[in-house]
Structure 1
Amino acid sequence: MPYAKYTPEEVESRGEEIYEQQIRQKVESGNKGKFVVIDIETGEYEIDEDDVQATKRALAKRPQGILYGVRVGYPTAYNLGGHIAMDQG
């Protein structure tokens, strides 16, 4: 299991710290909505409009990488939502 060294909370904490301290200022301008995938052990990252492509490139560099993803300019990477359909019959 690749995350055995870290709890999910540690992955999130390290990823957020690296993003805020080392990456955010480099990528924020002109990249709103793109995904940044960070290797929390090396600080290396990939950026792409497609999170899967960014992840694939990060893993190609370091297959055992512990990755954390963030979406530039948004508080979360994804939004979930829905609505209730009313039966009109």
Structure 2
Amino acid sequence: MRIDDTALRGKALYQEQIRSLVETQESLGKIVAIDIESGDYEVDSDLLVASRRLRTRHASARIWAERIGYNGVFAVGGTRTRTTVL
């Protein structure tokens, strides 16, 4: 699977199945790590922690990450834009 395919699948899973479950005031700004094969996910303020927890259940997980409520996980040389209002 190419990186583009991973991104498309991860974004689709987030928008269609996961976003409505995780986009809360308490989780705004946290990271959601998504296994694009199973659709399973973990939420944490730390990307590595969320990914490691997910890999304990799915050792070969193909992980896509999103920052809840923002347009990017990290911002390099700029700022993240908030995409949701809670």
| TM-score, L = length of structure 2 | 0.86
Question: Residue in 2 aligned with 1:74?
Answer: 70
Q: 2 CA distance for matches of 1:52 and 1:66?
A: 14
Q: 2 CA distance for matches of 1:16 and 1:47?
A: 15
> Aligned residues, how many?
77
SS at match of 2:37: coil
Are 2:37 and 1:8 aligned?
A: no
Larger Rg: 1
SS at match of 2:73: coil
Q: Which amino acid aligns with 1:68?
A: W
Give 4+ residue runs of structure 1 displaced > 2 Å after superposition: none
Q: 1 CA distance for matches of 2:40 and 2:51?
A: 12
Q: How does 1:8-87 map to 2 (within 5 A)?
A: 8-30=3-25, 31-81=27-77
Q: 1 CA distance for matches of 2:61 and 2:23?
A: 24
Identity of aligned residues (%): 35
| TM-score, L = length of structure 1 | 0.83
Structure 2: any 5+ residue segments left out of the alignment?
Answer: 79-86
Structure 1: any 5+ residue segments left out of the alignment?
Answer: 1-5, 83-89
Q: 1 CA distance for matches of 2:48 and 2:62?
A: 15
